[in-house]
Amino acid sequence: MSQYRQAAFVGLSSLAPRQELHTWSSLLVGLPPLPEGAAAVLASTTDDAVLDDDALGLAVVHARAGAGEVLRLIEALAQARNLEAHRRVVRGANGFVLSLAVMALIATGASKAMAPADLAKGKPWRASSKMFDCHPEQIDCGGARTAIFFHTVMEKEPWVEIDLGTPTRFSAVTVRNRSDAARERAVPLVLEVGDDARTWRTLAERAVEFRVWKAKFEPITARYVRLRAKNQTYLHLDAVQVHP
């Protein structure tokens, strides 16, 4: 991820005056307004290496919007008399757009290269109930634009269960909470495993609201993995991944 951050930083730097000392705060000046709270997060960051993933996502979104503004400026300057100014804008815009492209390639390649194997990928699953049909590949569930792969009804202790097919050895589970809304519904959340889908033993529990929960533990062998919300609530998650 450090390369991803660096590419974003370089992309924004290409638009800034060369004589300035570049920080995240200075580089975001002039871009479209940030959502509430985001400006403070970015303004407090003077080193791209300490920018967290959420803040980086905001920077990328607004950098792309800034790129559109730059391209419109280039078009407006196409007939300008000040050719040197025109050249400077073109150079900066080209470097900016190129850095965005490099950033996307790095992010895609790095995520594939660094992502641990997912033993749950393609495996059958079931939930305690179904409120809507979800189609995460189409970013849709019950008409809402969301990447969740299931949505239970409001019930006591809803759950989702993955069948790994055979007793499988693993040492970590990554849970990606619903990213667009209502993250609080998933907590407290219990991670359980079993061999027969009837008897369960607890591996970990999450009590604090989360975006991504990475539960790590001593290697264990089990066939079923279940996530159960310890509340009267709806349960809906973006993904559940099981790692060796």
Could you tell me which of 151, 131, 148 has the C-alpha nearest to residue 139? 148
Identify whether residues 109 and 135 lie together within a single domain: no
Residue 109 is predicted with a pLDDT of 47
Reported as a single tens digit per residue, the pLDDT across 10-63 is 655 655 555 445 565 555 555 544 444 544 544 444 444 444 455 555 555 555
Identify whether residues 131 and 221 lie together within a single domain: yes
> What is the span of the domain harbouring residue 135?
125-243
| Mean pLDDT per 10-residue interval, the chain, length 244 residues | 52 55 56 49 44 52 55 55 55 54 47 69 94 89 90 96 96 91 93 94 94 93 97 94 94
Among candidate residues 82, 114, 146, the one where a domain is terminated: 114
Would 120 be classed as within a structural domain?
Answer: no
Residue 196 is predicted with a pLDDT of 92
pTM for the model = 0.56
Backbone angles phi, psi at 16, to 5 degrees: -90, 155
Among candidate residues 114, 141, 173, the one where a domain is terminated: 114
Owner of token pair 């975001």: 28
Would 104 be classed as within a structural domain?
Answer: yes
Sign of CA dihedral 180, 185, 187, 189: negative
Residue 180 is predicted with a pLDDT of 84
Identify whether residues 98 and 166 lie together within a single domain: no
Backbone angles phi, psi at 200, to 5 degrees: -125, 150
Domain count, the chain: 2
Residue 206 has a CB neighbour count (10 Å cut-off) of: 17
Would 108 be classed as within a structural domain?
Answer: yes
Maximum Cα–Cα distance across the chain = 78
Reported as a single tens digit per residue, the pLDDT across 199-211 is 999 999 999 999 8
Among candidate residues 114, 133, 166, the one where a domain is terminated: 114
